[in-house]
Chains A and B, each alone.
Chain A
Amino acid sequence: MSVLLNDLFLAMLVVLALVAVRVRDLVGAVLALAAYGFTLSLVWAAMGAVDVAFTEAVVGAGASTVFFLATLLRTVRTERARPPRGRGPALAAVLLLGGLLVLAAHDFPHWGDPASPASVHVSPRYLEQGYHETAAPNIVTAVLADYRAYDTLIEVVVIFTAGLACWLLLGRRRT
């Protein structure tokens, strides 16, 4: 897809993220986060990562927004306006980290390079042999559910543990 369109969407993402963290009305911040999640799923769909875009659209722009709003239902709605203490050292740490990451980004491969190191080791084998070995044309599902099924097993246990933890944390009042 067009690189220019991708770059435009990325600029929109930065603006939406800044809005989501700066707005003092928490309901407005949560809705800006929902817009950020939806734009993110558009970026991924345009790039070709459709499974991930599907999941982010349902989870990031759907379920997580509703969880935030359910939390805000009976709690505070706005943030107090005093500037945070210790802002100088925090900003210095963040800028230092940013500088180190920009230096590290010097060595990364170009966006969209078919010969980048991530794409030449085991993924061509998954792409070429995936349908013959697992009878599933969707190679992402074949990788997720067959070749790398161990990660998926642990992840389902993680989401079940999160549900159990919420159930126990917010259980019934002891009368």
Chain B
Amino acid sequence: MTEILAYAGARYNYWVYIALMLVGFYTMIAHRNLLKKVIGMNVFQTAIILFFLSTSAKLGGTLPIVPSQVTKDGVAAAGLMNPLPHALMLTAIVVMVATLGVALALLVRIFRRYRTFDEDVILDRL
């Protein structure tokens, strides 16, 4: 029993990211309101970003900003966080907001034409 708890404790954060991904994914495919689908897409994208950033964490590490007094001696790379996922995820967040803007613009056009956000009603009137 204790090893199950130890295993769950070690993998707890990955299971949370998987739970968030599943919440977002289910909302995107099963809810019929288009705005709820966009909210689900947002949750899904942020869960992926969380997962990538978790690979850059280091216990006991600090921000990846090199303090000026150590630059002469050299930097201990194990004490600073991994900066590469941070840069990639910054790009991912900005692309997230760009996709959100275009998705909402499409939603407004759909509403102007069909006067509803309900997917089944739109598919009937198509």
What are 15 A-B interface contacts by the 8 Å CB criterion?
A: A14-B16, A14-B19, A21-B36, A52-B86, A84-B32, A94-B26, A101-B21, A105-B15, A111-B10, A113-B58, A113-B59, A118-B82, A118-B84, A127-B77, A162-B99
- Chain A residues within 8 Å of chain B by Cβ, number: 96
* Shortest distance between the CB of B80 and any CB in chain A (Å): 5
> Quick one: which of B24, B42, B67, B86 has the most chain A CB within 10 A?
B86
**Structural contact, B39 and A30, CB atoms closer than 8 A:** yes
User: Which residue of A10, A97, A119, A158 is within 8 Å of B13 (Cβ)?
Assistant: A10
Q: Is the CB of A85 within 8 A of B120?
A: yes
Additional A-B contacts beyond A11-B16, A64-B97, A102-B18 (5; CB < 8 A): A20-B43, A44-B53, A76-B111, A119-B55, A144-B91
**If the complex has contacts A64-B42, A105-B11, A118-B56, are A140 and B87 also in contact, measured as CB distance less than 8 A?**
yes
CA distance A33 to B105 in the complex (A): 19
Which residues of A approach B to under 8 Å, CB–CB?
Answer: 3, 6-7, 10-11, 13-14, 17-18, 20-21, 26, 29-30, 33, 36-37, 40, 43-44, 47-52, 55-56, 59-60, 63-64, 67-68, 70-72, 75-76, 79-80, 82, 84-87, 90-91, 93-95, 97-98, 101-102, 105-106, 108-114, 116, 118-119, 122-124, 126-128, 130-132, 137-140, 142-144, 148, 151-152, 155, 158-159, 161-163, 165-166, 169-170
What 0/1 readout, one digit per residue, does chain B (8-37) give for beta carbons within 8 Å of chain A?
001111111011111111110111110110
**Chain B: CB-nearest residue to A11:** B16
- A169 to chain B minimum Cβ distance, whole angstroms, is 4
Secondary structure of the B side of the interface? helix
Total chain B interface residues with beta-carbon distance under 8 A: 86
User: Nearest 6 CB-CB pairs, A to B?
Assistant: A112-B59, A162-B98, A124-B77, A144-B87, A105-B14, A90-B30
Known A-B contacts A158-B98, A166-B101; A123 and B77 likewise in contact (beta carbons under 8 Å): yes
Give Cα distance in the complex from A132 to B61, angstroms.
Answer: 21
Binding site for A on B (CB under 8 A): 10-16, 18-27, 29-33, 35-36, 38-40, 42-43, 46, 49-50, 53-68, 71, 74-75, 77-78, 80-91, 93-102, 104-109, 111, 116-118, 120
